[in-house]
Amino acid sequence: MNTLRPTLFVLMLALALLAAVWALSMIGSFFTAAADYGNHHEVTETLCLFLAAALVSLGLALSGTAMLEKSYVRTAWSELAQLTVPALMAFGAWLLFVNETFYSLFDPKGFPVHPTETFIYPDAGWHGMLSHLLAAMLVFLGFGALWLALRKEKEKVENQPTGGDGTN
């Protein structure tokens, strides 16, 4: 059992390294997009995958080093959350861009935010307004719920009674 924790540590750090290399490998797409004006909206999906990889890498490294602590089994839920939160943030950001929620303005395939674009690109195959609205509402409600859950936890910590010497 003594080798389990360092093995888990090395495994998680190896995965964190892989995620970091994956993130850094996307730098080429950024330069391509910067050099070609026509590509600058298409790069947004890569950009969000970069954010996803960076945050997953951070989460894996945090969880990996936590494996070195003796009490890692007791804090398993906490570490799982530590891993899930950055991954979820990243996935949410990626989803925003897959749906082109932010960058749909000038992309002929996305939601036509400027009405004239439907005339400029009549055959683009726009996705529907209702589906765009539903996706945006779901992301808003989902992240709003997450913020609310975490905010209540923060308030609980802040409202804990302090001891006579001012310490918790």
Partner 1 sequence: MKWIMFVILALIVILLVTAVVALAGVVIWLVVRREGPLVDRLRAAKFPAKRLLALPLAAWLALFFIILLMLLFVSAMCLMYTFALLHGEWLTTLQSLPKTAGNILIHLIYPLQVFLFALVTFFMAVGGLQLVIGPVEKLARLRLRVVDVADFARRTAVLIALAAGLEVVKILLYGLLVAPEHLSSFFARETLPKADPLGVALLATAILLLSAVFWLRRKGDR
Whole-angstrom Cα distance, residue 127 to residue 62? Answer: 39
**Among residues 8, 32, 42, 85, which is the contact residue for partner 1, using CB under 8 A?**
85
Q: Which of 37, 38, 71, 125 binds partner 1 (CB under 8 A)?
A: 125
The pair of structure tokens assigned to 49 is 């995958």
Helices 43-66 and 27-35 cross at an angle (nearest 10°) of 160
Residue with Cβ nearer partner 1 (115 or 164): 115
Compute how many other C-beta atoms are within 10 angstroms of the C-beta atom of residue 167. 6
How many residues bind partner 1 (CB under 8 A)? The answer is 85
Asked if 28 is part of the footprint of partner 1 (rule: CB under 8 A), the reply reads no
86 binds partner 1 (CB under 8 A): yes
State the minimum distance, in angstroms, from the CB of residue 36 to partner 1: 15
| Residue that is written with structure tokens 């007791």 in the block | 74
Q: Is 163 in the site for partner 1 (CB under 8 A)?
A: no
Asked whether position 98 contacts partner 1 by CB under 8 A, the answer is yes
Give the span between the Cα atoms of 49 and 33, in whole angstroms.
Answer: 15
